[in-house]
């Protein structure tokens, strides 16, 4: 009995030491991957990296991590124009099957899914905010974007007719979609400006617009978009996504 008791104590001690060693190792690895990702993506701040699954050390021996979660605040994505960027808020990605080199200088996930958002204020920069002529004596421009409910964007359009600015903006409910790396905002119904009959293509030149979003971390791509309370909510996905290297 005494020998069995001693054996059990040793098992508990060594088990505890293994857990401690495992957690120390995973914390080190998370820091290394975060630093490499910061450098690779030229980020201003260090991203949050969380390696899931236990034990970590057995995953290391196998050369691949089951599940890695990455969080990036205020990521500046490319817009396809020279020097143009758009701020992506709270980009969170869940990486599966992450293979890595021994020094964590390279790490690639077989698949990735995640979420992000673009505020309405940020997306508004894409719209034609300067007054544009839509017909003789009629100019209009978008002055605001907000949540229209039921997955729609409410677009506020300000118009001036024959030199007189209409007292209130005209509001239009619009649908937002993603195709490839393009986010499109398309009016469900066209507005009327002071009863003036306008050609559809001229009105849509104001109400409808699109924004290219590319250069997301590791090569992940846009999947779906939907209007939310404070901005456009985005889901992303990718394969062979590079976390580092």
Token pair 């250069």 is at which residue?
215
- Alpha-carbon distance of 189 to 173, in angstroms, equals 7
| pLDDT value at residue 20 | 61
Burial of 94 (0-12, 13-18, 19+ CB in 10 A): middle
| pLDDT value at residue 62 | 64
Enter the tokens of residue 209: 């617009």
- Alpha-carbon distance of 170 to 180, in angstroms, equals 31
Burial of 218 (0-12, 13-18, 19+ CB in 10 A): buried
| pLDDT value at residue 77 | 87
88: nearest Cα among 76, 100, 99: 76
* CB of 72 closer than 8 Å to CB of 34: no
* CB of 219 closer than 8 Å to CB of 113: no
Averaged over successive runs of 10 residues, the pLDDT of the chain (245 residues) comes to 47 47 70 82 85 73 78 87 84 86 74 93 82 83 92 92 86 93 91 72 87 87 92 92 71
Length of the chain as a residue count? 245
pTM: 0.80
| pLDDT value at residue 17 | 43
| pLDDT value at residue 245 | 60
171: nearest Cα among 143, 151, 195: 143
Helix (H, G, I), strand (E, B) or coil at 162: coil
């Amino acid at each position: 009995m005494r020998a069995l008791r001693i054996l059990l104590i040793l098992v508990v001690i060594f088990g505890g030491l293994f857990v401690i060693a495992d957690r120390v190792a995973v914390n080190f690895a998370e820091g290394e991957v975060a630093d490499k990702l910061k450098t690779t993506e030229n980020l201003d701040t260090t991203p949050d990296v969380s390696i899931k699954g236990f034990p970590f050390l057995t995953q290391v021996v196998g050369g691949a991590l089951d599940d890695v979660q990455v969080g990036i605040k205020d990521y500046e994505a490319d817009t396809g124009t020279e020097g143009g960027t758009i701020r992506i808020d709270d980009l969170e990605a869940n990486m599966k099957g992450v293979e890595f080199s021994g020094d964590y200088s390279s790490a690639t996930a077989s698949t990735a899914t995640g979420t992000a958002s673009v505020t309405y204020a940020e997306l508004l920069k894409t719209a034609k905010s300067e007054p544009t002529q839509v017909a003789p004596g009629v100019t209009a421009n978008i002055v605001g974007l907000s949540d229209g409910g039921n997955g729609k964007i409410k677009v506020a359009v300000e118009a001036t007719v024959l030199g007189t600015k209409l007292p209130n903006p005209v509001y239009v409910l619009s649908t937002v979609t993603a195709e490839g790396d393009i986010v499109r905002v398309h009016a469900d119904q066209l507005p009327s400006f002071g009863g003036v009959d306008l050609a559809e293509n001229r009105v849509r030149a104001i109400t409808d617009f699109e924004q290219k979003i590319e250069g997301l971390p590791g090569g992940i791509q846009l999947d779906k978009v939907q209007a939310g309370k404070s901005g456009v909510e985005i889901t992303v996905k990718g394969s062979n996504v590079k976390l580092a290297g």
